[in-house]
Chain A
């Protein structure tokens, strides 16, 4: 059972928009930044969003992040088949004094 809660899977058609939620508590998301990672099949995770809504250099602006209270969201617009991957949210947890991850969300582009 992961500390941060994500839906196990989401699916949407190409060129559409999808959002992935990440729910936590006051000890993690509520008090610390949320980061998102994309894991393509058979690959290592890659930083997608940091500090709630910032994009690293080279990441498409089709990806965006937001946070409100103890929940965060990742949005992907203009879906492409290459976006099929597992997406993980993560945040520092003040109680555990370590990083906690969501269980991951598998995105299927129909």
Chain B
């Protein structure tokens, strides 16, 4: 069973870059069995898919965030990361990393506990 743990600053100033990491345990990020995925949830609101990365480095991003998002993978540390630039208060949310099954059907079989990021000066 893959386990995921997010880490990063809980407070980011407006216009700066939000940076989060997700360490994967219980499996190799190079296994090719998953897309490594970021999802966020604003207070009292629903879930929003941010994007994903495959072990090859191939990425897909939510079109509404694409111009500001970068997801990368560090196989030596078995972790992947999220960078979101030019943040505003609207980016305040709980950010989850998840493992998305690679195959005909893409679904999230394991989730991190989530980390709250507040954008405020």
Give A contacts to B, CB under 8 Å: 2, 33, 35, 37, 44-47, 50-51, 56, 88, 90, 92, 96-104
Tally of contacts, chain A with chain B, CB under 8 A = 56
Q: Is the CB of B105 within 8 A of A51?
A: yes
Q: A44-B114, A46-B111, A101-B46 are in contact. Are A33 and B62 (CB under 8 A)?
A: no
Residues of B within 8 A of A96 (CB): 62-63
Residues of A within 8 A of B45 (CB): 103
Residues of B within 8 A of A47 (CB): 107-109
Task: Return the contact of A98 from the options B47, B62, B96, B109 (Cβ within 8 A).
Answer: B62
* Distance from A96 Cβ to chain B, minimum over Cβ atoms (Å): 6
What sequence of 0s and 1s flags, for each residue 92-121 of chain B, a beta carbon within 8 Å of any chain A beta carbon? Answer: 000010000100011111011110000000
Residue of B at shortest CB range from A36?
B107
Q: How many residues on B have C-beta within 8 angstroms of the other chain's C-beta atoms?
A: 21
* Distance from B96 Cβ to chain A, minimum over Cβ atoms (Å): 6
Give B contacts to A, CB under 8 Å: 45-49, 51, 60-63, 96, 101, 105-109, 111-114
Q: A88-B46, A90-B47 are in contact. Are A99 and B106 (CB under 8 A)?
A: yes
* Distance from A56 Cβ to chain B, minimum over Cβ atoms (Å): 7
CA distance A90 to B48 in the complex (A): 10
Residue of B at shortest CB range from A88?
B47
Q: Is the CB of B62 within 8 A of A37?
A: no
Task: Return the contact of A101 from the options B48, B51, B63, B101 (Cβ within 8 A).
Answer: B48
Residues of A within 8 A of B101 (CB): 50
Task: Return the contact of A100 from the options B49, B60, B114 (Cβ within 8 A).
Answer: B49
Q: A37-B108, A92-B106, A99-B106 are in contact. Are A45 and B96 (CB under 8 A)?
A: yes
Residues of A within 8 A of B62 (CB): 96, 98
